[in-house]
A and B are shown apart, each in its own frame.
Chain A
């Protein structure tokens, strides 16, 4: 199984809502990542988890809250988002974070904030 799955595929939420994005992999990878991608722009790294511990937070606003309950699962909790947070949110995983391992990406969750 070389797949990273993300749910939901699409999400529409209001600015006062609380929602969560979910990412799962069963490849035994110990590093997981969240990226944000605006239309016609490259992906931007948000968070890196290594061995279930947050190792990089790229100055992301606190309305985005990551969680890694176990080595296979990564969540992104969303609260009080702004319309400019509408984007494709991509999850990725790799065998480790410290060497030159390839990252496997999921298909993304397309988020619209109204």
Chain B
């Protein structure tokens, strides 16, 4: 069974631009969560989607948004990029919302210059 797939692996953007990250969960998994990982803050929860609905949201500004499609694939969008948005963005899937453990993808490394 294929694992969680995130694309692209690396991304370099300029301040003010926007970016879209993609995540394909493990087949059969309907819950997708997004996390931001930085050296100082660790993994910070962004949001969780289940059956195309956002179930939970972390404490991030409205510039961070996401969506989930009917095939459970998910996208995350960050608008008006800031230097502080440079981080590793991790996607994780699980069969049902609130179920564990989470299965993580290898992440997208975003660098904002």
Please determine whether chains A and B interact with each other in the same assembly: no
- B residues bordering A, Cβ < 8 Å? none
- A residues bordering B, Cβ < 8 Å? none
